[in-house]
Amino acid sequence: MSYIHYSELIISKKNVITSERLDCGNIIGERGDSIIVEREGFHEHVYIIPKSKVDAYDGSQIILKLSEPELKSYQERRDTSSSSKGTISDTEDHVKGAAGQVKDTIEDTVSGTVHKVKDMVSKHDDNNR
């Protein structure tokens, strides 16, 4: 399996499915060696799934090595008490950090390309003088 850039998938909240191709939510963050998946509906569910349980990313969704019954063992109850706010806040901080890293990468790439073009134009102008 090739390396998966989770930060980019988190920003776009990619869909996550089980090994039986059943929808289990969207990736919303990572915590250590795990991904955080949120399923919304009548009852919100949050799953903390080890990255070792990720089978593949097919370009549009993350496919797990877990069946629906196995997935339930990774469920965490979402609660609105003050003790859970730290976890959600930590996840929001990680998502913001991942977004910043992607932005920095894009800025570095664009900046490098601009410098190369300026050098090429400068050399071309020098040759034509």
Please name which of 25, 69, 63 lies closest in space to residue 47, comparing C-alpha atoms.
25
Q: What would the pLDDT profile of 13-47 be if each residue is shown by its tens digit?
A: 999 999 999 999 999 999 889 999 998 765 678 99
39-73 burial by CB neighbour count: b if 16+ within 10 A, else e? beeeeebbbbbeeebbeebeeebbbbebeeeebee
Return mean pLDDT, the chain. Answer: 79
Q: What's the predicted TM-score (pTM) here?
A: 0.59
Lowest-confidence range among 25-34, 43-52, 83-92?
Answer: 83-92
**Confidence class of residue 85 from pLDDT cuts 50, 70 and 90?**
very low
125 vs 97: which has the higher pLDDT: 125
**pLDDT above 80: residue 73:** yes
Non-local (6+) Cβ contacts of 23 within 8 A are 15, 16, 17, 39
